[in-house]
Structure 1
């Protein structure tokens, strides 16, 4: 039986869910719905009682939480934590709260790691959440500030932690921002991929590595937390 469902019926029916301890790369071009897709997967888990951690390198913690509250999630009663790597770089005076912990910048991997660890401890050890969904959005932003070897070592620790804690990890990568060697190196850390590509009519998605063969490409549209999957190519 699957450990994690995306909460998107067509994809869940195709792959039968995702086993515990799985790490996935979500890769696609800019403005292709990656953020909304991963937020929807996290949102659907939160509704089922999972906890979630989002490392945000492009949006403030408040803006991340706004997406979930705008789609009907009661933030106060949810186990959703955001590691905000943006606000301090903007020089905005602010403090941590129950749902947001601030790192100094996207390159502060030590600080990011400490704050991830604090949320892991709170949700999995103290609150004993039944499941954990973890996301870094995005690896591409971090790679603008540090080299691949440094990021690889950092990710190796946390993909290992995902496996050890039977969690689900999703790590966003911007397609066409990196050379093939960089993508090939990062792929070593992951069990599969969610791929998005541009089409004449919009965007298509497929899942690779979870099933013996890649799924077909499916057109999809996202409206808030509602994902509509079309017919396969």
Structure 2
């Protein structure tokens, strides 16, 4: 993991949505120590829990001590189809993309249940998709709250955004929420 990103840091990752650089940077930022000592939180609008777990295993070997996956979107399709075969250390929940308050509550619940002896790393994939369902003002308030919660628990959080999908004003409005940035464009 990049030494610049100490616990309590939130990072904005700018990369094309389907790029290999995005995926590599994501895993690099999640790799904050031995897998057993990590608590990994993944918020995804398009990933399937079984695929995220398989991807983690392929990249890191063993699973983290705890992994939470919040699937934002089609709850019926994404939270089923073999997801019941996930290990006990993987917690999956769903959120309606049109209910930013409900998403915030699920994230707050996960953070409240964490064990403080594990390093929390979080991935929010993606701000581009969040902004398809929420206006910039609502998204900003939500992200300000969530980034603050991550700082409070000394997490290393990163948030993906596809810069080609947004105007400069939107990107400029969001950048102050983050402590640092990684540009993969």
Question: Which interval holds the TM-score relative to the shorter structure?
Answer: 0.7 to 0.9
Partner of 2:98: 107
Alignment partner of 1:31 is 2:18: yes
2: distance between equivalents of 1:57 and 1:189? 20
> Does 22-31 or 180-189 show the bigger shift?
22-31
Say yes or no: does 1:143 pair with 2:131.
yes
Residue 99 of structure 1: CA displacement? 1.8
Indicate the RMSD between aligned Cα atoms, in angstroms: 2.4
2:53 counterpart (65, 77, 94): 65
TM-score by length of 1: 0.68
Give yes or no for the alignment of 1:56 onto 2:44.
yes
- The answer on whether the counterparts of 1:46 and 1:79 sit within 8 Å (CA) in structure 2 is no
Stretches of structure 2 that go unaligned for 5 or more consecutive residues are: none
Q: Is the 8 A contact 1:85 1:105 kept in 2?
A: yes
List, as ranges, runs of 4+ consecutive aligned residues in structure 1 with deviation greater than 4 Å.
Answer: 91-98
Structure 1 residue 111, shift from structure 2 partner: 2.4
Higher-Rg structure is: 1
- Pick one of 174, 184, 203 that aligns with 2:172: 184
**Once the 2 structures are TM-superposed, how far is the Cα of residue 42 of structure 1 from its aligned partner?**
1.1
Higher RCO by CA contacts (8 Å cutoff, separation 6 or greater): 2
Change in Cα spacing, 1:187 to 1:91, as seen in structure 2 (3 Å) is closer
Count how many residue pairs are aligned between Structure 1 and Structure 2: 180
User: 1:39 Cα shift?
Assistant: 2.3
Residue segments in structure 1 that go unaligned for 5+ positions in a row? 1-5, 7-11, 198-233
Deviations 1:150-202 (A, max 9, x none): 111100101111222221110000121000000000001011101012xxxxx
Give the TM-score, by structure 2 length: 0.84
The equivalent position to 2:109 in structure 1, one of 111, 115, 118, is: 118
More helix by share: 2
Task: Name the counterpart of 1:85.
Answer: 72
Q: Distance in 1 between matches of 2:121 and 2:158?
A: 8
Give the distance between the partners of 1:92 and 1:26, measured in 2 at CA: 26
